[in-house]
Chain A
């Protein structure tokens, strides 16, 4: 299963975190700190898998953001790369050519999208079209003059 999802900027700022395993607040800060150090320091040519505390962390860099997912040691890393890409493509479709700023100002929407892709650390839907449809439908539901 995926234990957590982490989106980090190049400077180490956290843009999104989602935890599917029990980590207390203190542990979360610690984990983020450790992984930031580990992943941001990697050279570009290296492979996208890092071994950390007995788990594997799969990461991929898109523009200025690092998308990291922590999985069990016996999971398929190549598949997680695909899931990360799936997520990014859906975000792209939803925001229309997504950039980091979109994710900063609309983090709650990014979370909604993530919740349609992963539940309990497992993939929910493999069709981008279906996910997009669901999000739009929920947007309509919310469109009752909701001004955040």
Chain B
């Protein structure tokens, strides 16, 4: 560098950086400057060190790395004069943070500066220490700082107090050392020192109990005195802000009083007067006054206050709520939420003002209000509050509707006392915001309706009316369509009309009309379409006159691109056409759904590790329509059975029984309690698995025509099954099991490419538990990678699968993978074992899947 030119000034750099039009230009400028600074550092130039550091700080603020300048800070701090030290400390605080090791090098300089004669330098050192010291530095330098408490300079005193706050935060053990000096500082008159001292005391009390006790005993009188003076005193321009005397000091004293009075009745009593005085006399026109009032209210709620004082506090909050300033209202709502837990009655009195805040333009205030209202709801006020909330739902905007709907639904559910009122409110919500209502809320509503036998007629009629008025609310359509399907005859025949209803004349075709309209209206929503199809099927049985028309509508969907709809359309069509004899029993009214078991199943099935996306049938309402072990043949599980085949999904090998259902494609949460359903045909347990009871005729039971022959018939291409074959219910051959003696091994599965053999062992004292050694061999000429064996068992069996020996299966039976499986048959002796298995592997970078069923377990097992 040219020794005759001085490096550019700070403001030149700033100007140059600001003049850059693009980021690349700025980078170039910064790079050039950094190079100059670096060479200057290398030359150990002391003259312009301060300038270089200032430039470095600017570059740092722009966001560029500046770690090469850290040592410069240290050198400047070590310099003699005040200006260099000042900029050195500033650089230190800006460029470093407490986690850097370089900071430790400063400790010695700091120590020297803390003892310096020039009190501005002492101030600098205290400031730096207070802002970024680490725990080790804090420990080292604490004695110095404590000594400075006694300095005559007020500036140093207050800086020392604040610095020790940081020291205590970093090293809480030192709190006791500083207890007494802190208490003595409280006797000072200067506001700056007082503020720092009070803040130090607050930190001490938060950190440890011993200072808390000490301060409680010695300082409370002094504090109350100071506060009194501030509250009463006359105008002093130096400390006055917006008509209030030193709000900062007042607020801090109130904070400290809160900590001291918490849990201590005597202390709280002592404070009562002054708190009342501050609460009533502080001006609340400006923010400063409001800040003090806010802190005062927080303190009142925090200590053991009398009820009169509490009421005073809540009234202040009530006044805040009607303030025009958003901030004040926000703060008041926050405090009220905390106050509800302390004194709910008092808060209830301000209910109307709170409800007004619901209409605020500020979204965060609206959210807060909603939460507060939610906390305020109880049995007595739930009806008027719900009315208000629903009224508000109509006018609220989109992003708020979701939250509001969820809250209303949960309030109504929690506090409703009569079913009718609950159902009414839910219908109202559905009409206004059906699209935002969550699925499980819809389900529980349907469950409630199915349990409320006496008002089902009323429900279905109201839903019919609502559907005509609000055809585009998704949630409403779901519930309405389900109800009309189930309770169609109540609608048409006007059964059990209560006095308040107007009689409607709804004919069968009207009911079908309405469902057809919903079908057309919601072309994109698969759930609604599927539900409509099911409802139409139910109606075709209830209203036989419309059967043909319904069939036409259903046929329309035979060509649908969505697999679910296509399948349903084809199957329903088939039922209507060919199976009139079973149709009525098939589509009988569903029994009242059991809410608790439904919830139980939902939670257990959600625990199962299944990719929910694949398995979830787009008919969530299908799952509640379960035969909870009742003899009636429900419609949906049947039909879900029928469409299970192509949709086999990977099943985890955990032992929950819900897997069977899912494996069989019955959809989440469908239990077939095979134990309670009387097996209709034969003793083949798979029939039990699939049996839906009730229909005893062999022809009627759509049995899965799964390998009814020997287990050696592999199920490699299940998709080749004709749906029609299922409905024909072929008679099953009784599988002639191998009547082999004690636990022979079997070939569980064999295809052209894979062979699986089972070898059994049993412990004589535990006949229910069977250990199976599974051996898989590769019959093809290609090696299989990522081989995974999965198994599923009926509900009465528990399965445990150990890890496999490997997951690479060499070709040509050159090796085998073995895995141990443990089956526990809870109905040992009554029902034999059965298992379905699935093997996935990769060959030549292609995924392959094979699956089969094991029917040939030796019967003694």
Residues of chain A having any CB pair with chain B under 8 Å: 14-20, 22-25, 29, 45-49, 51, 76-79, 81-83, 86, 104-105, 107-108, 111-112, 115, 119-120, 122-130, 134, 137-138, 141-142, 144, 146-148
Contacts and interface: CB of A to CB of B under 8 A. Distances in A.
B294 interface: yes
A144 B97 contact: no
B549 interface: no
Chain B, interface size: which category? 35 or more
Contacts of B361: 45
Contact of A134 (B81, B155, B165): B155
B26 to A, nearest CB: 11
14 contacts: A16-B61, A46-B362, A47-B362, A76-B291, A78-B327, A79-B248, A79-B295, A81-B327, A82-B248, A82-B288, A111-B94, A123-B248, A125-B158, A138-B120
A8 to B, nearest CB: 12
A148 B162 contact: no
A81 B82 CA distance: 33
Contact of A24 (B99, B298, B365): B99
Contacts of A79: 247-248, 251, 291, 295
Contacts of A82: 241, 247-248, 287-288, 291
Given A78-B291, A127-B192, A141 B83 contact: yes
A48 B326 CA distance: 8
Contacts of A129: 238
B163 A120 contact: yes
Main secondary structure of the interface of B (DSSP, over half): helix
Contact of A126 (B87, B94, B195, B329): B195
A134 B162 CA distance: 17
Contacts of B120: 137-138, 141
Contact of B291 (A25, A81, A119, A120): A81
A17 B131 CA distance: 13
B97 A22 contact: yes
A25 B327 CA distance: 32
Nearest to B18: A104
Given A105-B14, A124-B158, A127-B238, 15 more contacts: A17-B61, A46-B326, A47-B330, A47-B364, A76-B251, A76-B255, A77-B331, A82-B247, A115-B93, A120-B169, A122-B165, A122-B199, A124-B159, A125-B191, A148-B11
B287 A144 contact: no
B159 A126 contact: no
A115 B365 CA distance: 35
A129 B238 CA distance: 7
Contact of B195 (A17, A45, A123): A123
A112 B365 CA distance: 37
B83 A144 contact: yes
A86 B65 CA distance: 33
B795 interface: no
Contacts of A76: 251, 255, 291, 294-295, 298
A52 B602 CA distance: 34
B10 to A, nearest CB: 5
Given A47-B362, A82-B287, A148-B9, A126 B50 contact: no
Interface string B123-135: 0001100110000
B173 interface: no
A16 B485 CA distance: 67
Given A22-B99, A146-B50, A120 B166 contact: yes
B363 interface: yes
A80 to B, nearest CB: 9
Nearest to A146: B83
Nearest to B62: A14
Given A47-B365, A147-B9, A24 B195 contact: no
B58 interface: yes
B455 interface: no
A81 B131 contact: no
B63 interface: yes
B460 interface: no
Given A76-B291, A82-B287, A120 B131 contact: yes
B109 to A, nearest CB: 18
Given A105-B11, A123-B195, A125-B158, A20 B83 contact: no
B249 interface: yes
Given A22-B98, A46-B326, A47-B327, A127 B191 contact: yes
A112 B191 contact: no
B19 to A, nearest CB: 13
A109 to B, nearest CB: 10
Given A49-B327, A120-B130, A127-B192, A78 B159 contact: no
Nearest to B328: A78
Contacts of B57: 107-108
Contacts of B81: 144
Contacts of A111: 90, 94
B86 interface: yes
A18 B86 CA distance: 16
